[in-house]
A = this chain, B = another copy of it.
Amino acid sequence: MALPSEKNYLSHIAFDSVIFGFSGQKLKILIMEYHNTGLYALPGGFVMHNEDLDLAVQRGLLERTGLDNIYLEQFHTFGNVERYKPEVMRNILQADGHAIDNDHWMLERFISVAYYALINSDKVETRPDQISDSLGWYNVEELPELILDHNTIVKTALKYLQLNLSIKPIGKNLLPNKFTMKELQQVHEAILGTPLRRTSFQRRMLGLDILERHEKRFNGKAHKAPYLYSFVE
Contact = CB atoms under 8 A, between A and B. Distances in A.
Interface residues of A, number: 22
Q: Pick the most buried of A12, A47, A52, A79: most chain B CB atoms within 10 A of its CB.
A: A79
A111 interface: yes
A42 interface: no
A54 B78 CA distance: 9
A228 B77 CA distance: 39
A79 B54 contact: yes
Interface in A40-88: 47, 49-54, 56, 74, 76-81
A113 interface: yes
A52 B81 contact: yes
A144 B141 CA distance: 48
A111 B81 contact: no
A54 B111 CA distance: 12
Contacts of A151: none
A149 to B, nearest CB: 12
Contacts of A56: 79
State the copy count for this chain.
2
B113 A47 contact: no
A109 interface: yes
A91 interface: no
Contacts of A76: 74
Contacts of A49: 109
A79 B113 contact: yes
Contacts of A11: 11-12
A10 B81 CA distance: 12
A76 to B, nearest CB: 7
A107 interface: no
A13 interface: yes
A79 B51 CA distance: 9
Nearest to A10: B12
Closest 6 CB pairs of A and B: A53-B79, A77-B77, A10-B12, A77-B113, A52-B80, A52-B81
Given A13-B79, A56-B79, 19 more contacts: A10-B12, A10-B111, A11-B11, A11-B12, A47-B79, A47-B111, A49-B109, A50-B81, A52-B79, A52-B80, A52-B81, A53-B78, A53-B79, A53-B80, A53-B111, A54-B79, A77-B113, A79-B113, A111-B113
